[in-house]
Amino acid sequence: MKKVLALLSVCLLVFGLAGNVMAFNPDSADGITFYEMRDQFGEVPNIETELRLGAVAKAFENEYWRTLRTGYEAMEEKLNNKGMDVEIDVRAAQGENDEQGQLSIVQNMINNEYSALLLSPISDGNLVPGVESANEKGIPVVNVNDGIIENAPNYVGPRAIQNGELAAEWISEKLNGEGEVAIVVGMPKAFAARQRTIGFENWMEENAPGIDIVERQNADWDRLKAMDLANIWLKTHPNLKAIFCNNDTMALGVQEAVNNAGKDILVVGVDGIGEAYDSIRNGEMDATIDSFPFYKAQVAVEATLRVMGGQDIPRVVWTPQALIDSSNVDASAEEIIDWKDPEF
């Protein structure tokens, strides 16, 4: 009997933790844009002590996360040029499935008493234990972009649901509200994958009843898996008109399948990586939803400094995103999002 009760207690604890992890949704939370953050809180505080910030991404095999790293590095240089003493140590897991490896990186940063952590978890729950330890030690934590950490005090990133909404609206316009479409989902336990898919489906249901979503399967952010899915769908759905992919890596795989089949099918991704831009310029991929990771990283560092400087910014700060197609693929990011460096 004791064993049964003990097992029941463990199950309740795990269920409770899972419920907490899923409870926070930055897409629907009260928050402000980074423009509004600057208007409301003014200059970024000057932290006079030496700072060592730990930034942890998913995996550098994906260009998106390499671009985020470049943004952190650019912000580090800007801050040091302003006279601050800041090091931003940017690391990542071995792959986008290496949840335990990513947690080990975070735990090592906590043990080495980093000044603050900027975390982009692989899943909603894999970094929860690390953030718990950081909170106990008083180390500020900012959840950046993806994977929702329930116990992280602050979140900086885009509205993931809007990724799907923007893609759905664009595809519907191109198809005049009629036709068969499919969705390639990322990792189902990733917040961004779920929200991008929900945003796409809900927009179509509410605004384009003539659009029929005939397939919806996950490819785990993997290019080859996405290409394999597309190869199957192109045979089983000869009238398929468009495929929405939860990220550009998978969209590029889908586009390869479309090219090989000689089909004319709309392919839309998310992330705005360089290869997707090149594909759009070459008349292959049709669009991507760019969330500008180079600038997102800088906003995340800015928000972290504001928290460390005592500013009581809202828990959620939204970063910009935009749909990129042949009409604006050659416009600068600064122009598209009206980027300006913060004032110090």
pLDDT score recorded for residue 178: 98
167 with 182, same domain? yes
CA distance 143 to 125: 12
* Band of residue 7 on the pLDDT scale cut at 50, 70, 90: very low
Q: Please report whether residue 235 resides in a domain.
A: yes
46 with 146, same domain? yes
Q: What is the mean pLDDT of the chain?
A: 92
38 with 127, same domain? yes
The model's pLDDT over 285-332, given as tens digits with 9 standing for 90+, comes to 999 999 999 999 999 999 999 999 999 999 999 999 999 999 999 999
99 with 188, same domain? no
Q: Please report whether residue 222 resides in a domain.
A: yes
Q: Please report whether residue 118 resides in a domain.
A: yes
Q: Please report whether residue 2 resides in a domain.
A: no
The model's pLDDT over 69-99, given as tens digits with 9 standing for 90+, comes to 999 999 999 999 999 999 999 999 999 899 9
111 with 234, same domain? no
Q: Please report whether residue 16 resides in a domain.
A: no
pLDDT score recorded for residue 33: 95
Which range has the worst mean pLDDT, 25-29, 48-52, 125-129, 317-321? 25-29
Is the pTM higher than 0.95? no
pLDDT score recorded for residue 18: 36
Residue 3 pLDDT > 60? no
112 with 256, same domain? no
56 with 133, same domain? yes
* Residue ranges making up the domain that contains 236: 160-290
The model's pLDDT over 109-149, given as tens digits with 9 standing for 90+, comes to 999 999 999 999 999 899 999 999 999 999 999 999 877 88
Mean local confidence (pLDDT), 204-231: 98
Mean local confidence (pLDDT), 158-175: 96
Q: Which residues contact 72 (CB under 8 A, 6 or more apart)?
A: 55, 88, 90, 118, 297, 298, 300, 301
pLDDT score recorded for residue 23: 64
pLDDT score recorded for residue 146: 75
Q: Please report whether residue 81 resides in a domain.
A: yes
* Band of residue 16 on the pLDDT scale cut at 50, 70, 90: very low
CA distance 9 to 339: 51
CA distance 197 to 205: 12
120 with 50, same domain? yes
29 with 153, same domain? yes
- Report in angstroms the alpha-carbon separations of 173 from 45, 170, 271: 45, 5, 21
Number of structural domains (the chain) is: 2
Beta strand 287-290 with 322-324 is antiparallel
Which carries the bigger pLDDT value, residue 188 or residue 298?
Answer: 298
Mean local confidence (pLDDT), 185-212: 95
Q: Please report whether residue 139 resides in a domain.
A: yes
195 with 87, same domain? no
The model's pLDDT over 236-257, given as tens digits with 9 standing for 90+, comes to 999 999 999 999 999 999 999 9
27 with 146, same domain? yes
